[in-house]
């Protein structure tokens, strides 16, 4: 099995699907994905908490403990690090390393919408790498996340990407960045593998040609699962064709159980261990 670091330096970008619990992570590993990440939104929502507020440290560690059984590397989203000081973040990274976690994602976005000062974030990254040199630290900057893609935002992203790499980050993640020119500039400036968020309509081949080394799904899979669950329930609740339940809904109700993972297959996920991956993806 390739190491997590090696997966960022292959011929094609690493596609990192993000799970929110053991079942979703195990299903992705069983499908053959080379590595699995977590999504803080999914973990937070599942716990009835708000994402990005530093409220899910315990849930994050508990999930990492469960995922140690998977037959592939695991990267954990730790939001801003769940600590006020760099040494507190380093303590968490060391704890996760002890659970077999291969990588962590540390973001500079704060709950109030601001970005952490770059020097403070460099201290966090440096402390984590100093404590656990073998941990793949993916430094996320939120210059583009839920913000307008202005020239000033790109300039700040370039400054932070380089600064985080100089502090020891193994990769840089800029969610929300799009456009060939912006992505190409970040690849050139960072000097370490660039991670972007999946954008519908932008092919993996195109991103590879631009130099992107990792593509994450973020909260997409979690939101897709929620949507599918609600739509399936709605289809079942409208089993006859009426004005409120057109033919398409009736068809969905009839096929709701077709093509789904079976009860037995879900049960088998609990037996997934090293060497148990199935279909390659």
Residue 212: give the domain boundaries: 4-218
Same structural domain for residues 181 and 248? no
155 and 107 in a common domain: yes
173 and 230, same domain (yes or no): no
What span, in angstroms and rounded, lies between the C-alpha atoms of 279 and 281? 6
What is the distance, to the nearest Å, from the Cα of residue 159 to the centroid of all Cα atoms in its chain? 23
- Residue 134 in any domain: the answer is yes
My answer on whether 210 and 233 are in the same domain is no
187 and 127 belong to one structural domain:
yes
pTM of the predicted model, to two decimals? 0.90
Residues 185, 264 within the same domain: no
Alpha carbons 268 and 280: distance in angstroms, whole number: 18
Do both 255 and 211 map to the same domain?
no
Decide: 180 and 209 in contact? Cβ < 8 Å: no
Distance between CA atoms of residues 140 and 26, nearest Å: 25
109/185 same-domain check: yes
Q: Based on the structure, what is the number of domains in the chain?
A: 2
Residue 2 corresponds to which tokens in the numbers above?
A: 């390739």
Residue 149 CB contacts under 8 Å (≥ 6 apart), including other chains: 176, 177, 178, 179, 182
**Residue 43 placed within a domain:** yes
CATH number at residue 177: 3.20.20.60
Residue 31 burial class via C-beta count within 10 angstroms: exposed 0-12, middle 13-18, buried 19 and up: middle
157 belongs to a structural domain: yes
pLDDT tens over the chain, length 281 residues: 579 999 999 999 999 999 999 999 999 999 999 999 999 999 999 999 999 999 999 999 999 999 999 999 999 999 999 999 999 999 999 999 999 999 999 999 999 999 999 999 999 999 999 999 999 999 999 999 988 889 999 999 999 999 999 999 999 999 999 999 999 999 999 999 999 999 999 999 999 999 999 999 999 999 999 999 998 888 888 766 555 555 565 555 555 556 788 888 888 988 877 555 444 45
Cα→Cα distances 245→113, 228, 240, 249, Å: 42, 17, 7, 6
**The last residue of a domain, from among 199, 218, 237:** 218
Same domain? For 162 and 57 the reply is: yes
Phi, psi of 144 (to 5 degrees): -115, -5
Does residue 279 lie in a domain region? Answer: no
Evaluate whether residue 281 is within a structural domain.
Answer: no
């Amino acid at each position: 099995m390739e190491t997590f670091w090696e997966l960022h330096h292959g011929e094609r970008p690493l596609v990192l699907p993000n799970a929110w619990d053991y079942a979703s992570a195990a299903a992705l590993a069983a499908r053959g994905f080379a590595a699995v990440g977590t999504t803080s939104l999914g973990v937070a929502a599942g716990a009835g908490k708000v994402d990005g507020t530093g409220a899910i440290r315990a849930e994050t560690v508990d999930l990492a403990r469960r995922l140690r059984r998977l037959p592939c590397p695991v990267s954990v989203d730790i939001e801003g690090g769940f600590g006020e000081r760099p040494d507190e973040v380093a303590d968490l990274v060391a704890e996760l390393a002890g659970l077999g976690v291969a990588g962590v994602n540390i973001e500079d976005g704060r709950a109030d919408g601001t970005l952490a000062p770059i020097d403070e974030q460099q201290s966090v990254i440096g402390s984590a790498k100093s404590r656990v040199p073998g941990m793949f630290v993916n430094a996320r900057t939120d210059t583009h996340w839920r913000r307008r893609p202005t020239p000033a935002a790109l300039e700040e992203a370039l400054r932070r990407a380089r600064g985080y790499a100089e502090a020891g980050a193994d990769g840089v993640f800029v969610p929300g960045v799009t456009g060939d020119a912006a992505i190409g500039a970040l690849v050139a400036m960072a000097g370490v593998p660039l991670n972007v968020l999946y954008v519908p309509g932008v092919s993996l081949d195109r991103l590879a040609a631009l130099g992107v080394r990792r593509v994450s799904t973020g909260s997409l899979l979690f939101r897709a699962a929620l949507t599918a669950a609600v739509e399936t329930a709605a289809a079942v609740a409208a089993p006859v064709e009426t004005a409120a339940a057109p033919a398409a809904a009736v068809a969905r109700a009839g096929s709701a159980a077709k093509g789904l993972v079976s009860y037995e297959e879900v049960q088998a996920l609990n037996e997934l261990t090293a060497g148990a991956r199935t279909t390659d993806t």
